[in-house]
Amino acid sequence: MNTSAFKFMAASAACCLLLSACGKKEAPAAPPRPVRTVVVAGGATGEASTYTAEIRSRYETDLAFQVGGKVVSRAVDVGAPVKKGEVLARIDPTDVSLGVDAARAAVRAATADLGKARADEARFRDLLERGLTTRANFLAQQTATKNAQSRLEQATADMRLNEQKLGYTTLRADQDGVVTSVSIEAGSVVAPGQKAISVAQPNELEAVFDVPDTLIDIIRSTPDVQFARLESPGALYPAHVREISPSADPVTRTYRVKTSIPNAPWNLRLGMNVAVTLPQRAGGVRTVSLPATAIFQKDGKPAVWVVKPDFTLDLRAVTLDRYESDRALVSSGVQHGDRVVTAGVHRLASGEKVRLMESAP
């Protein structure tokens, strides 16, 4: 290779290196993540709490067939009023009817066997009195008569049981009430004891709602509460706490409270939502209200993200007082003027740079 060619190749390599170096640019920094926030405004002293409750019947029965089979008819729908003894649904009675026929035939056969055994016993008694048979033969015939009597009693019991099963193919209302749920349709096959239709008594209503454990002692000490229809919040009606669940719900960790309603207003309906007002909380605990979406669990404890003045995130542990609908009442951890992130809290990191969305105050 001559000198000129070598110089040309070296110059080409140098140009390639320069071009490669020029092509490498540093990746631009990721823009700050946009976040939706809310500014904490003051704190409210704990006052009367309001919860949404559902109107239910105190006495509601789940009815089921006592025998299995194919549903051939259903006579009621949800919301239908029913009277005690009214037919609600039927299942195909063919198989059970065959069992009844077989049991009745067994009773007739057992009756005939008992008649023959009694006749033989009378004949053996006459022969024994005339000395034409032994006492052992007579006692054996007496035993045969008793066995025939037992078989007849057993056959009769089987017949009555099968006749009862035939009656079980018809589902009837056991009380006056209103149908609140239907779990079967014509053509479906049901098992014995499977829930078919629920009937509630509408003449004794109650309001059912869930509360956190922080309110249990207050409810126990002052069991009288008030409720109002959502469309008429000014019209309050009295209610009395009759039952508090002894254990928390495994998912929501709240306790179910049932309140009886004396002299229920005529315009209350099953399934209606009402607002239940609990008595004023003792102690005057000051709380701030945040959207429930601002709260997340960090190491098993509630926390929020607070946006600092330099627009970086600070993880702040908080103490929850209670939940109300879609709000969370926080008793400590944040204060007036703090800006708290209210959406996407599970995707953020401590110290991360953020920017406020335009809708944020």
**pLDDT value of residue 326:** 73
Q: Which residues pair with 44 in a beta bridge?
A: 287
DSSP code string of 111-167: HHHHHHHHHHHHHHHHHHHTTSS-HHHHHHHHHHHHHHHHHHHHHHHHHHHHHHHHH
**pLDDT value of residue 360:** 47
Answer for the pair 205, 270: CB distance below 8 angstroms, yes or no. yes
**pLDDT value of residue 125:** 93
Domain borders along the chain are: 33-45+284-356, 50-57+204-277, 60-92+170-200, 94-167
Most confident of 42-56, 86-100, 212-226, 324-338: 86-100
**pLDDT value of residue 12:** 61
Q: Distances in Å between the alpha carbon of 19 and those of 9, 12, 131, 214?
A: 15, 11, 138, 70
Find the largest Cα–Cα distance for the chain.
Answer: 154
Higher pLDDT pick, 221 / 144 = 144
Mean pLDDT of 142-150: 95
**Which DSSP helix (H) or strand (E) runs through 319?**
strand 319-324
Query: What is the percent of the chain where pLDDT is above 90?
Result: 40
Chosen CATH of 60-92+170-200 out of 3.20.20.140, 2.40.50.100, 3.40.50.12780, 3.40.640.10:
2.40.50.100
Answer for the pair 170, 62: CB distance below 8 angstroms, yes or no. no
Which amino acid is present at 277? T
How many whole angstroms separate alpha carbon 265 and alpha carbon 221?
26
Higher pLDDT pick, 220 / 118 = 118
Which residues, other chains included, contact 47 with Cβ-Cβ below 8 Å and sequence gap of 6+?
280, 281
Q: Give the architecture (CATH level 2) of 50-57+204-277.
A: Beta Barrel (2.40)
How does pLDDT run across 22-39, given as a tens digit for each residue? Answer: 545 555 666 888 888 888
Pairing of strands 44-45, 286-291: antiparallel
Q: pLDDT averaged over the chain?
A: 84
* CATH class assigned to 33-45+284-356: mainly beta
Residue listed under structure tokens 């079967």: 184
Higher pLDDT pick, 312 / 288 = 312
Q: Distances in Å between the alpha carbon of 141 and those of 118, 123, 124?
A: 9, 10, 7
**pLDDT value of residue 82:** 93
Mean pLDDT of 256-273: 87
Higher pLDDT pick, 314 / 28 = 314
**pLDDT value of residue 47:** 53
Lowest mean pLDDT among 68-77, 148-157, 251-260: 251-260
Residue 340 pLDDT > 80: yes
How does pLDDT run across 99-130, given as a tens digit for each residue? Answer: 999 999 999 999 999 999 999 999 999 999 99
How much of the chain is in helix, strand and coil states, percent to nearest 5?
Answer: 30, 35, 35
Mean pLDDT of 132-145: 93
Higher pLDDT pick, 346 / 317 = 317
* CATH class assigned to 94-167: mainly alpha
Residue 321 pLDDT > 60: yes
Residue 45 — pLDDT band, cuts 50, 70, 90? Answer: very low
